[in-house]
Structure 1
């Protein structure tokens, strides 16, 4: 296969509009090779141009592009003819991977409760699996409530028929039952009334909770839990309903619960009377949380709000789904970024670096207390749980854990160095840079809104919604640095390099950001756009 000349003369048929947008921002370049923290793009003369990669596959290549140990592992697997398609059979490699994930998760959470693993191909698919499992669990809990209510009604009928209990006046008045009717008739009226009231709740669709600014994928279900309206609204009719919680207002949790909660009225024989008691109906299916919002602007969930979420969900029996797709797998110095905030999930989703930048794989972990074995029959995925991706993922975990977790420590150390550079830019350009956020090697630098710039060209960049992409284009062409803005906060540039990022590359990034700031201060938007198109 010729990788040196892949330019075609025909029409652009692979997402042509996106190609046009990338071209406007100067990002429509072709990368022909990758190693470590470096991507090589094709120059105008067909030469290779080395680019420091701070985008890092949206967090997928913590260990670097084409890590030699992972490449060797992949080559050995392919040379040995490892089966990729051996569905509906025993998969010992998947079980070994699940066991190793459990070992590390147990260490970080301080628990010995196992998490069962459902494998998938992408982060969004892992999220969908978690949501589907949570809805299966909710449905089974509703079925149990139905059954318990039916049994309670039969017990009340028996007690009244045998003269052991009667329907008291206070219950009759509360539910509008004939005060003079015999208890047997009153009970039948009451049972019918409760059945009608309960039916409205029993048929309610699930409600999901998620944080404002969150991003959980763009598939049919997951996109409805992604806060960005431009992604969500066109497909609103297809997906689930969500309520979005402001991350700075923990009191909003109880406000939403008060508005949306469901209650079932169930009969109960208490002494010689038939009473009506309330049972909480599981309206809320799951609460999705990113410990660090990637596409929302690299915003870190603080421990206080994490604790509020944990307590609230425990009170209403709503499972917590921790989306670690971008923040997990060692990027913050731990396998689970959420463990720093003290947040424990009923579910975890992991992807990106799990495949080492080579295998397309992900996993949904669900704790034993929540697990429903029926899910294994009603959910499946053609390419999931195969020998190739599972073995690569096991090698990734081996590399992360080697030398007492040296890779985790490296992520923290390199992240601290990168943060120092970003904060130096912020400190020198406070009129242009608003904030530096994140943890480890998942950092963001937010530019202030330039809609009020004295420069018409800068205002035009800000108004076009592509401000961050033009900045990225300038950094690429003028400084050989690759980064992107976050998808839902386009004034925030993301930095998610590998643990191999060097001081020279960090210095190059800092110089590039300082150049961008000087051009913005000078109002030289045309020069920013010009370099992007170069």
Structure 2
């Protein structure tokens, strides 16, 4: 405790660490200091310095499937540190990382019912894993484009041999099909030369088009330079739109939407073929669409689930144009929804998977990109790297996490499903009793959300002002914290939706505590304005 006090900010110290965010936290009553954590409980410091327990339903934004400071994980981490396990041993063999990749493959392939292996690229955070996915997909696209251009070039050569050998001519239909309006030269060789020049220029224009990524509306994949462009929330994306490849956002769970966007964005290269003595144009798919990236359950988008039908449409449409599907399981994976991969429950098979958050057991910062072997480009390993990725300490802790979630035939998965169902039943009961306040309950397992109706016209000025400023969810979170000792937040891109991502250690008493808190705020929002949303300082 003395060591912790030694780093506490003194009253006269300047606020230099994200001071604007500190002011936002204060406005919502969320400016508290947490000093200790275990299981589902965080302890905040009261005004008199004493610890006040708070039930943590935010769960590290989905990072704490096994809870804060799980005793087995922390004991193992201490053991590794005592053994002086290397952290910095870059550009050498990393057997621990390979063991982790093998363990992940065993679980993923079991869930998918497929024997094709996935090769692993390690990183430090979910956003970094998604950035690696974007980079790998773009490398793959560029190499596929080069191969297509080479194939088209060989088709030009083959047509030239046929024409010069008197075995083929260029008919008017081919000339017009290339968009040429000038009269076709009578000499076949000259006509072919003009045709090839025109197709080469057109193909060069198509090949120079920037890559396009597809993602569902409501997506969130990080806030780094590349990943932020895949995040639907324009407030996060727009200031940086000139820095990276752009995305097209597809309406969620709308039949035909994926194919319509693909048809609008797809491109082609024009080659030649000789059929029956005629030189004809042959169209080849140009890989302009780089990847389709999605979350099976959108976290920051308001806990929105993708349907099986939508997943099938994505899979089918992307396969038809050889476009990889990147499945972001950073929040939903690791068993949080009752299966290791939430996507496996809707029949979706990714070409890439990204995992993070709970992979580190709530202790280490680690993540991984898994790429299906038939998609993998080995040269990526030499042009992409990360200082802290695949270190022995983090890899071994992640292996211990996998041991824990897989133990007893996947008891953690079953517990996540059972505890999640119990929590969701409670949320549905609140929805049923307060339909004019609560709009919807969504999610699966221990990744749940409750959406409130818009309160922009609420009679109570504080509620109305917060709603119009997009801070209604933070006002509710502040009341739950100060009035009920419950920690949660709204989802980043859907501020009227509160998230609930606790650990599998969730108890019935903690669910009841949340029930009481939610009913209290529903009573206040519904009309009990004599008792305002509470934002007092924590009591002693």
Same-fold call, TM > 0.5?
A: yes
Q: Does the Cα contact within 8 Å between 1:24 and 1:533 map onto a contact in 2?
A: no
| Offset at residue 511 of structure 1 (A) | 0.1
1:67 corresponds, among 62, 65, 70, to 70
**Unaligned 5+ runs, structure 1:** none
Report 1:290-329 matches (<5 A). Answer: 290-329=295-334
- Structure 2 distance, partners of 1:238, 1:525, is 50
My pick for the range that moved more, 137-146 or 265-274, is: 265-274
Structure 2 gap segments, 5+ residues each: none
Shift of 1:463: 1.2
1:120 aligns to 2:123 (yes or no): yes
**1:413-492 residue pairs with structure 2 within 5 A?**
413-492=418-497
For the pair 1:135 / 2:138, whether they are aligned, the reply is yes
* Match status 1:373 vs 2:371: no
Contact 1:265 1:279 in 2 (8 A): yes
CA–CA distance in structure 2, aligned partners of residues 154 and 54 of structure 1: 65
For the 8 Å contact 1:455–1:523, the answer to whether it is kept is no
C-alpha distance in 2, partners of 1:278/1:403? Answer: 54
Aligned residue in 1 for 2:3: 2
- 1:279 aligns with 284
Task: Number of aligned residue pairs: give it.
Answer: 534
TM-score in terms of structure 2 length: 0.97
**Cα RMSD (Å) of the superposition?**
1.3
Pairwise CA distance, 1:370: 0.6
TM-score (norm 1): 0.98
Answering whether residue 171 of structure 2 is matched by residue 171 of structure 1, we say no
Structure 2 residue corresponding to 1:106, chosen from 90, 106, 109: 109
Post-superposition CA distance 1:117-157 (Å, at most 9, x none)? 00000000000000100000000001101111111111111
- Which is further off, 13-22 or 273-282? 273-282
Structure 2 partner of 1:503 = 508
Corresponding residue number in structure 2 for 1:93: 96
Q: Secondary structure at the match of 1:276?
A: strand
CA positional deviation for 1:525? 8.6
Measured in 1, the distance between the counterparts of 2:316 and 2:335 equals 26
Structure 1 distance, partners of 2:176, 2:15, is 73
Query: Which residue number corresponds to residue 230 of structure 1?
Result: 235
- Partner of 1:287, secondary structure, is strand
1:526 offset after TM fit, Å? Answer: 7.4
SS of equivalent to 2:370? strand
Q: 1:222: how far off? A: 0.3
Q: CA deviation at 1:180?
A: 4.4
Greater shift, 165-174 or 229-238, is seen at: 165-174
Equivalent residue number for residue 219 of structure 2:
214
Structure 2 CA distance for aligned equivalents of residues 272 and 150 of structure 1: 20
The structure 1 residue matched to 2:51, chosen from 48, 55, 62, is 48
Contact 1:347/1:364 (<8 A) preserved:
yes
Alignment equivalent of 1:340, drawn from 342, 345, 364? 345
Tell whether the 8 Å contact from 1:152 to 1:268 is kept in structure 2 after alignment: yes
**C-alpha distance in 2, partners of 1:354/1:530?**
35
Q: Which residue of 2 aligns with 1:155?
A: 158
